[in-house]
A and B are shown apart, each in its own frame.
Chain A
Amino acid sequence: MDKELTWWETHRPSTRKLIQLYSALLYNAHLKGFIDGEIYQGQTKAVCVPGFNCYSCPGAVGACPLGSIQNALASSGHHAGWYVLGIIMIFGLSLGRTICGWLCPLGLIQELLYKIPTPKIRKSRVTRALSYLKYVIIVIFVVSIPLYYGLKYDMPVPGFCKFICPAGTFEGAMGLLSNPKNSGLFGMLGILFTRKFVIMLIIGLACIFCYRSFCRFICPLGAIYGMFNKLALVSVKVDEDRCNGCGACVRSCKMDVRHVGDHECINCAKCMGVCAQSALSLKAGTHTIIAPEKGCADDTPDSAQKRQKNGRIGWGVALAVLCFALVWFNFLDPSVRKRSEAQAAAAQEQDVNESASDSAASGGEKTGTAVGDQFGDFTVTCLDGTIFHLADQKGKVVIINMWATYCGPCVKELPVFDNFYREHKDDAAVLAVHASEVLKDVPEFLEPRGLEMPFCIDDENDTIFNLSGASISLLPQTVVLDRNGTIVYNQTGSMTAELLNELYEKVK
């Protein structure tokens, strides 16, 4: 008689779930970011992670391949995005859609949502037809929109990230907004956030009723990896000699697969459990990673033992890597240490300022980044060779706009500042400060736009960005100072002509 299984034996997380959880944690190893409400700024962000993980998530330590490919397409007027293309090809050729099944944090979230006990929608002709929607999304949102805006207006617009991506809303927007330190970010929320929030809820709801709805119908990254599935090194392989063509694997699969290993197959290896012939195995080339119950046809007597031993070694190495990553990305990384030191220095400076203003019974003004504080003085050489010294602008309303050529909304709002500058040249000073990281020749970028206002590029120490408190690296940001140099407005997000005029009227 078979031994009755305990609740834990039937419900314990599978190896695949543990690997999904592991990769989610590894991609988001900068846990300090969730506490500080700031994103990671280290060099590892130059490397794309294989799965879908938004790089604006406070924990993310790598770049999202889909966001990167859209930005690369948007920059294709300047140089080809060979790097992202190469990285995606390496991921696709090595793992194909095994990434979706084993290494994608969004896949894990979808599977957990599907565990909520509700009636489920099973695969059918309709879901199969819907599975082609992701190719339409690739063409429109991932390729056409970034290419159109990039080539025509030299403006990066990552269509999928901007209009659809639920990972961006959940990990990025919600991740940042949920931190009380980022209350100021609420000021920029509008129609875009509302639309994406509702889209995220709809996708989440769909995932509760229909297995991996986002993955099957929408995910462009899965569609890209799917194109490599037949060539991928790691995949579920069918032993032709054992397979009797019963089709149990295809019928029981929750994805819209037509055949094992086709472009819809995420190589989750669940089909191995339903194959009575033990014809399926997960292999990397000729090396078996997961063997069927009966073992593989080419197994030697000690193969099973070897696999078990290799598995244990693999987990040991993986845990060591995770521990190292957690320590490195939270404490040792130079960018994290630099920021901690800067925060400590800022806190110390604030204390000094506060005690100074306390001691000055007349209520002396302190330097800072909040409304009511004095903006720190700086001198910068503009692109036209003129010198901009903030202290010299006393008596004028000063507007400082932080922007970058690689930020779509920043480029879009430049004419708003320029029109304002032309109208109020005598009474107001406007300075557009480009971030210290430069990807395009800024004067060359500005030349066809015919803008009159002064532009400068922040120095490598990000002096002006730091003075404005642009600590979480979000663009654009605008600071408005009254005639005494006191901050009356300091906000991340897009600026409108109406708002700029209202602020001017307020301090005029």
Chain B
Amino acid sequence: MLSRASRPATPPQLHWLPPVACWSERLRALGEADEAAWAELVALANAGLEAVETLSLDRKLTRLFGKAPPPQLSTRSVRLALLASSTVDHLKPAIRVGALRHGLWLDIHTPPYGQISAALLDKNSELHRYKPDCVLFALDARHVLSGIDASGTREYAAAALDGVLEDIKRNWRLVQDAFGCRVIQQTLMPVFPALAGNNEHRLPASAAWLTEEINQRLRAMADAEQVDLVALDTRVTQDGLAAWHDPALWFRAKQEVHPMAAPVYGELIGRLLAARQGRSAKCLVLDLDNTLWGGVIGDDGLDGIVLGQGSARGEAYVAFQRYVRDLSRRGVILAVCSKNDEANALEPFDKHPDMVLKRADIACFVANWSDKPSNLREIAARLNIGIDALVFADDNPFERDIVRRELPMVAVPELPEDPALYTNCIADAGYFEAAAITAEDFERAGQYRANAEREGLRASATDLEGHLRSLDMELRWARFDQLGLQRIVQLINKTNQFNLTTRRYSEAEAVAVMKNPRALSLQLRLIDRFGDNGVIGIVIGEFAPGNSDMVIDTWLMSCRVLGRQVEQATLNLVAAEAARLGARRLVGQFRPTPKNGMVREHYPNLGFQKLDETEEGITRWALDLGGFKPANVIMNIVQAESVAA
């Protein structure tokens, strides 16, 4: 019998992604490098691919889009420099596919083997000429901890640790100074075998123990230096080292991440890059029967559904509800989409003693007998978020299939049969990958609830002015400041619908605007009777060279506050600021995208005159500040010290 050690391990799987019918045929059919081909490639990437399929997909991707991204790509392309101390060529296809899965076009540059320092320090190196948008440090554990004496004292170990971390930090800063771009650091893979055992930490200079300490200290260091981590250590510990690493392969080829693990490795990087562009999903839509509880509420009744009550299956559903509730507490919006009479569907939320999720946790509750794709469209519309920001969880493969076919932009996890495994499926899928978590994320659930109340009020109000007055709105504004920066950059990078130009700013670029005394920068926060809507508007403007035109480069707003005169109030503020800076005219631009059709008439609605229009539909508009009269708006406008909470 073959001993365990001589059989290959089961590689980690993209288990939340479904198989796709006729995958190979669909891939082979692609020929032209157009938008439709890109969409098809993205669809094919969203299947449960293994290593060889990933390779094939990358081959086609490179053949069609190797030199340039598709036209009209709504995401920002990424030039990634991959700085590794071991062989990583076998991982590049999977990284490109990981990015593709999330709609990103990625180009990768790797310096010659073993030349990270040289590439960073030499201003004439290929790396410097490449000008990356993002640098990923993929250091392998054996190189990082080479030459450590396992018998060293605590002091020796502490010095070694500090030395390693100083080197890592120095490299981060070199990158940040040279390229001003985001740095991603991969944590160390726990490859070292134990020397002491269960209490390895009592051997301070053990490489296995030092790996763990380095990984722990990297978390704090990454926060201090504004670096993002790819938590390879966590992933490998969860899957088991054997699934990610083969010592024999390391000695043969210096490959630390096993080729079979490449698809999941690439996915971890892809989702992090996507999260930084605001592309993570925003809302989890839940089916009810057999998804949040066992059984069918309409048939089994409150007493018959399986939820809690000490049964294994019941406890599994409770645990799933807890995870979902915790997701909502950190900013993920929840919705329900169920084929049920509404009264039946609501009953467990109100009356079942083991129900963890309450009615108030659900920002949009849809229970009817219509088809799910229509309901999902309705949910996205009511919540004012893009339909591609939805994740739909349903135990029924038939319903999942319909949604996947009708709405390919909605993520539909391949939930396993056993509800005990639902949570891991959703967690591993990383749909809601969060690069940063702000106070506003914690407040989001409450805001959506309050918004639902506001909408309810508006529906019953016959007099718009009276309704607006009753909201007691206060618009607080400030110029860009350090405290508000994180939220400002987050909004700039994730707002797609009410966004006139969709210009994306890195944190460094936002800081430059903040420090420029001749730039116009506004952050706006709206508070009303129901609560705090948070930061809902950003405007950035700069003087056109040679004249006194203030050109509005960015004007974006949250869809949540439409129809409340916030646009007019914002214009009042923009005009005042521009005049204060000495401008004579405001010039605004509208750049059409697939998502911002709602603001096509934004400037003419505010009284701007059209200047010109290009072939692609880009329009420019002007407002003479001399003759401008601020609009009367039904809200208090207040300049704040700082707009951050």
Please indicate whether A and B come from the same complex rather than being unrelated chains.
no
